[in-house]
Amino acid sequence: MSQRERIYSVLVERNQDTEQELPEGVRRNVAGNGLRLVSASALQASGDQTVNASTVLPWLFHALGVPSALVGVLVPVRESGSMLPQALLTPLILRARQRKWVFVLGSLVQALAVAVMAGTAALGHGVAAGVAIVAALAVFSLGRCLCSISTKDVQGRTVPGGERGQINGLATTASGLVAITLGLGIRFFGGPDLQAGQLAWVLAAGAALWVAVAWIYAGVREPSGPDDGQQPGSAGSAGTPAGKSQDGETSGGGSTEQQGWFVRTYRMLREDRTFRLFVSVRSFLLVSALSPPFVVTLSTQYGTTGLGGLGGYIIASGVAALLGGRLFGRLADRSSRNLMTMGAAFASAVTLTLVLVVSLPGFTGDAGWSSGLFIACYFLLTLTHIGVRVGRKTYVVDMAEGDRRTTYVAVSNSALGIVLLVVGGISSLLALLGVVWALVFLAVLGLVGVVAGSRLPEVSRG
């Protein structure tokens, strides 16, 4: 056994049965490819912490004197911008015989965008600086869009089922370590007077991380054809709807590449029942993604400091990632469906419990345990969201093969980008009536997702 094989076997609990189903050329490179994917994913997750649209960028806007109105567009631009274009870009990406180069391009785009943010942080000020950073964030999201489409397909071609979730989990663990380090640094060294120049160095480090990601990913030995590396009889093959082949051809004549992206999205959602159900369930699982910011807002309304302010929440987020990475990676390989639905159920329960406690007569933020309550709920929601995210990423990789997997990822992300804007808009409007109403809405949405998720077919092979 080579050193690569030994290291990979220590990091990942290998599934020998699914590895044996791979072609010889793919099976020979599983360990090397797996280590590169783990390293690249870990560095990418670490880079995400340096340009976090919920923490670092709002702090930077405050330090630069950017109007608070622009702060509200950061998360929508970051999230929806990386998902909405995916179905539109898929036909172009399907032409690439090796999808790793799409990921490399996306990483370099992100590196350039973050470098522009760093330069703006060092030299800019006011509204102009805010607009420049938002524009760079939009470009960053486009780069992330390319990576999101391609990475699941590369992983599906090079890593067997039963091991993919663990790779996602290891990356999450690495991001947790970075978040803890960043939170501690801000808490103890930055203080309340953190300057834009200091954050410029943080962003510059993030740009360097994405250059390293591109370099590592370029070394992945990916099969050159869309069918190379597929596992015979694996989950998803049987799920191809009648009249469609796995490379996206329609029996009625003409390929999906020749159709408009909207028509292709509509037809896939209409004809593929399993995929349509997955997209619906994924839309209902936003409770764990959208609730944490409202928890922070609620804590400030009650006058709590959150165990040291914003740094405390970053540390809590990092601890959640550190604990949840490996745990949820293994659970996703066993049953990604159950991980998604149980995560939504737990997130809804935590959210409703918090609403109930803060609604009790006499509750105030002055109590010594109030800060602990909000931090604990934020931690649990963040931990649960990690599980939901790892679960749905693993599910979509396991449910299909070849170009169909790439199309699944793109169409589901584009659809979710629209859903995210709608659900985010509704919850924001409800927050005008009171933050608790937004939390109740998201919790109910999660409970609907639990019921709908029980109808999803099992696709895990672990």
Provide the 10 A C-beta neighbour count for residue 270.
Answer: 10
**Tens-digit pLDDT profile for residues 442-461:** 999 999 989 988 888 887 76
Query: Would the pLDDT of 243 be above 50?
Result: no
CA 195, 200, 206, 209 dihedral sign is negative
Average pLDDT of the residues in 62-71: 71
Q: What is the pLDDT of residue 445?
A: 92
**Tens-digit pLDDT profile for residues 146-198:** 888 788 778 777 777 777 777 777 777 777 777 777 777 766 765 545 577 87
What is the overall mean pLDDT for the chain?
Answer: 77
* pLDDT more than 70, % of the chain: 79
Provide the 10 A C-beta neighbour count for residue 356.
Answer: 10
Query: Would the pLDDT of 49 be above 70?
Result: yes
Ordered by start, the domain boundaries in the chain are: 22-222+259-453
Q: What is the pLDDT of residue 191?
A: 55
Average pLDDT of the residues in 387-408: 78
Q: How far is residue 343 CA from its own chain's centroid?
A: 15
Q: What is the pLDDT of residue 31?
A: 75
CATH superfamily, domain at 22-222+259-453: MFS general substrate transporter like domains (1.20.1250.20)
Residue 222: pLDDT band (50, 70, 90) is: confident
Query: Would the pLDDT of 299 be above 60?
Result: yes
Question: pLDDT: is 257 or 378 the higher one?
Answer: 378
Residue 205: is it exposed, middle or buried by C-beta count within 10 angstroms (0-12/13-18/19+)?
middle
